[in-house]
Amino acid sequence: MTNGTTTGQRPTLLTVICILSFIAGAFGLWSGFQNAFTDAPQRELEEAKAQSQEMREQFGDSNPMMTAMMEDSIRIQENLVAHAKSIGYSGLVLNLIGVLGVWLMWNLKKNGFWIYLLSTVGGVVSGLLIMTGGWMANLSLGIGILISLVFVILYAVNLKHMR
């Protein structure tokens, strides 16, 4: 291009964040598959309950903060199990859309940013609708939103390199 902003070569930062997004997308697709089509959420809940019981037997209720954390963790897991199918299906769809957007940005296509943004906003909204269970759930959701925001900003900074 003649304006000097698009050289046809992908900047290093864009390459790095695309690779990280491809990896996250693969994990998201795997997680979505497990939630939608396997009993992994139920098994994880049973494991969490067993660990919680083991910790209580070992330490008792002497540490109220630890007890509250374990109870919050169980509530989060129970909520995830209750919504496992919808979390799985939405995760599969949103991650596929997100990976498509990242692929387009990898190829320096500006419309990939908007597709990625759509999937990110969809993920945040679905997380807000589904995630309950106390302060640990809120902390986890907050960290996810923060990471999503950082990636959206990093991609937005690279829009000038896309056409």
43 domain residue, yes or no: yes
**Separation of alpha carbons 143 and 158, rounded Å:** 23
Q: Does the pLDDT at position 60 exceed 70? A: yes
Q: What's the structural domain count of the chain?
A: 1
5 domain residue, yes or no: no
Q: Does the pLDDT at position 70 exceed 90? A: no
What is the span of the domain harbouring residue 149?
12-161
pLDDT band at 7 (very low <50, low <70, confident <90, very high): low
Q: Does the pLDDT at position 1 exceed 70? A: no
What global pTM score does this model have?
0.85
Contact present, 132 and 67 (Cβ < 8 Å): no
140 domain residue, yes or no: yes
3 domain residue, yes or no: no
2 domain residue, yes or no: no
Q: Does the pLDDT at position 150 exceed 60? A: yes
The tens digit of pLDDT for each residue in 42-59 reads 999 999 889 888 877 777
The tens digit of pLDDT for each residue in 81-118 reads 999 999 999 999 999 999 999 999 999 999 999 999 99
50 domain residue, yes or no: yes
Residues in contact with 42: Cβ distance below 8 Å, sequence separation at least 6, in sequence order: 81, 84
7 domain residue, yes or no: no
Longest dimension (CA), the chain: 71
